[in-house]
Amino acid sequence: MAEGHRITIEQGTDHVRVVRDGQVVAESERPLLLRETGYPVRYYLPPEDVRTDLLTPSATTTYCPFKGTAAYWSLPDAADAVWGYPDPKPDVAGIKDHFCFYDVEVIEQR
């Protein structure tokens, strides 16, 4: 990684929920917390805790030199609201197949 740039991933126990238009899209008590220099903490949720039936794959991709190529999914009325790394770089392999949302509500911290 670039000097001064750091990414850490830890198993979280926070209860997090994603609600869109009054509907719970995801809820987890086992998010992965990804901390990256210069960015807010991001919660990566396991697929079993995400309503994947509400996600539509998007053609959008972005590239991060530290994490790899991100794939995006849209929610009803919210384009590219969800992303993940299907084939992340080895340093962040733990986030593989997890989903990350822009708006996550932390219900409680333990």
Query: Model confidence over 72-105: pLDDT tens digits?
Result: 999 988 999 999 999 999 999 999 999 999 888 8
Domain total in the chain:
1
Do the domain assignments include residue 2? no
Contact predicate 16/98, CB 8 Å: no
The share of the chain scoring above pLDDT 70, in percent, equals 95
CATH number of the domain that 101 lies in?
2.170.150.40
Do the domain assignments include residue 26? yes
Do the domain assignments include residue 28? yes
Q: Per-residue pLDDT for 43 more than 70? A: yes
Residue 18: pLDDT band (50, 70, 90) is: very high
Q: What is the pLDDT of residue 95?
A: 98
User: Domain range holding 72?
Assistant: 7-108
The pTM is what? 0.91
User: Which residue bears the tokens 């805790």?
Assistant: 49
Q: What is the pLDDT of residue 109?
A: 56
In this predicted model, which residue has the larger pLDDT, 24 or 4? 24
Contact predicate 89/79, CB 8 Å: no
Contact predicate 12/109, CB 8 Å: no
Please provide the DSSP assignment of 29-62 as one string.
S-PEEEEETTS--EEEEPGGGB-GGG-EEEEEEE
Q: What single-letter amino acid sits at 76?
A: P
